[in-house]
Structure 1
Amino acid sequence: MLESLRRLLRAFVLGLACVAGTATAQPGFEVPPAFAERMATRDTLAQLRRGGFVLYLRHGYIDNSRADRYPVGDPDDCSTQRLLSDAGRGLMREVGRGFREARIPVGEILVSPLCRTRESARLAFGDDFRVVESLMYSGNMSSDEKKPRLAALRRLLAAPVAPGTNRVLLAHAPNLADLIGFFVKPEGSVVIFAQRGEAGYEYVATLPPALWAELLRVRP
């Protein structure tokens, strides 16, 4: 009886080890370090007004009544994708208004090819943006498929920004989660990066949609 219990205990411990290994060591995929989120402040907005930052913006709320087709195929075929909901469209208009009221200069705007990200860009900033395939939604991809996109995202975060402007990357939560271990939420949040540090970029703060009003409120 005692020996049977010992065998069961050894099997249980081995099982836990296998599960832990599966969760943290996917073959060929680098696990990002632990992430600590910080909220943007009025001082953060003041820094953004001077330019030189990269702003990773997640698209608006989506209608989850259908799934994205994968592989994507034609990114212009919106019938195969999850699209913005009416609330998501309203959210992106509000985010664009926040940028304008905060007087944040926006230069280069690079956008994922999917319909929901392109529509988010138009609602927030207008039609002056460029679609970049490497920002494609990565949630359905294998680790090998993600590797070149992660390398491209690192380059976009580290590449010099035009003086007096900020670069906007309008894309998806899984992409950034794979790179820095932070799943951007809620939708419409801005993740702010400065261009410094060993990696060539450094996380500064997050600006969720609900924070705009507080940061823009006139102090008594």
Structure 2
Amino acid sequence: MRILYLTLLIIISFTTSIKANEKDQTIDILKRGGNLIFIRHAYAPGGGDPENFNINNCNTQRNLNYDGKKQSVKIGKLFLSNEIPIDEVLSSNWCRCKDTAKLAFKNYKTINFLNSFFSAKFAHNRKQQMKDLKNYVKNWDGNKNLVLVTHYVVITEALGYAPSSGEIVVSDKNFNKIGSIEIEY
């Protein structure tokens, strides 16, 4: 039993060390600029949106709870404390994305190609949104980083990666994933 306990302790400390090292490497990459930074909106309990969803009414949407708001602030502090340069912050029109962007970065602008296409109601937008995203990035010539606050489905479609709520996923302009940082809530 003692050997099992020691083995578990070694495994836990080893994986924690690997995650810390990956986070430091990702932050170093971000400090250099020129990256795409996909951020899945912070924690909003549930999945999808209610039947009465209205993009112009946050009361009809799945929104950030206290933990999600706290997570959003932590995202902003990570960027600020590490002096990560940002060209601009773009957000989906969904309230949980706009709230994440506002709490983390203060200034942002909304853009349709970051909207969710998870529900059947919006699924037909997927191809055009991905085309518009790729065109935007192709024409983006910033030296800093481009922050994209969006949804699970958009990040998965663009990068082939499934992010957690509030996770920061970094890629190059060719949509090759470079690293990620999970932010606890």
TM class by shorter chain equals 0.7 to 0.9
Structure 2 residue aligned with 1:34:
none
Does the CA-based 8 Å contact 1:112-1:135 persist in structure 2? Answer: yes
Q: How many residue pairs end up in the alignment?
A: 164
CA displacement at 1:155 relative to structure 2? 3.0
Counterparts of 1:1-220 in structure 2, within 5 Å, are 40-64=22-46, 67-69=49-51, 72-73=53-54, 75-126=55-106, 128-141=107-120, 144-163=124-143, 165-185=144-164, 187-195=165-173, 200-210=174-184
Q: Distance in 2 between matches of 1:68 and 1:175?
A: 19
- Stretches of structure 2 that go unaligned for 5 or more consecutive residues are 1-17
Deviations 1:79-118 (A, max 9, x none): 2110101100001101110111111111211100011111
CA displacement at 1:45 relative to structure 2? 1.5
In angstroms, what is the RMSD of aligned CA positions? 2.3
Between the two proteins, what is the percent identity of the paired residues? Answer: 23
- Stretches of structure 1 that go unaligned for 5 or more consecutive residues are 1-37, 211-220
* Change beyond 3 A, Cα 1:69–1:152: farther
Structure showing greater radius of gyration is 1
Q: Distance in 2 between matches of 1:62 and 1:108?
A: 24
Q: Distance in 1 between matches of 2:48 and 2:138?
A: 35
User: TM-score normalised to the size of structure 2?
Assistant: 0.79
Give secondary structure in 1 for the equivalent of 2:149: strand
Q: Distance in 1 between matches of 2:137 and 2:178?
A: 12
**Structure with the higher fraction of residues in helix conformation:** 2
CA displacement at 1:61 relative to structure 2? 0.8
Give secondary structure in 2 for the equivalent of 1:60: coil
Q: Distance in 2 between matches of 1:51 and 1:102?
A: 12
CA displacement at 1:162 relative to structure 2? 1.5
CA displacement at 1:154 relative to structure 2? 2.6
* Change beyond 3 A, Cα 1:147–1:65: closer
* Change beyond 3 A, Cα 1:143–1:92: closer
**Which amino acid letter does the alignment assign opposite residue 193 of structure 1?**
S
CA displacement at 1:47 relative to structure 2? 2.3
Q: Distance in 2 between matches of 1:134 and 1:102?
A: 28
CA displacement at 1:56 relative to structure 2? 0.1
**Which amino acid letter does the alignment assign opposite residue 179 of structure 1?**
A
Deviations 1:125-158 (A, max 9, x none): 11x2110011111111465431101212333444
Does the CA-based 8 Å contact 2:117-2:123 persist in structure 1? Answer: no
Query: Once superposed, which parts of structure 1, at least 4 consecutive aligned residues long, lie more than 4 Å away?
Result: none
Give secondary structure in 2 for the equivalent of 1:91: helix
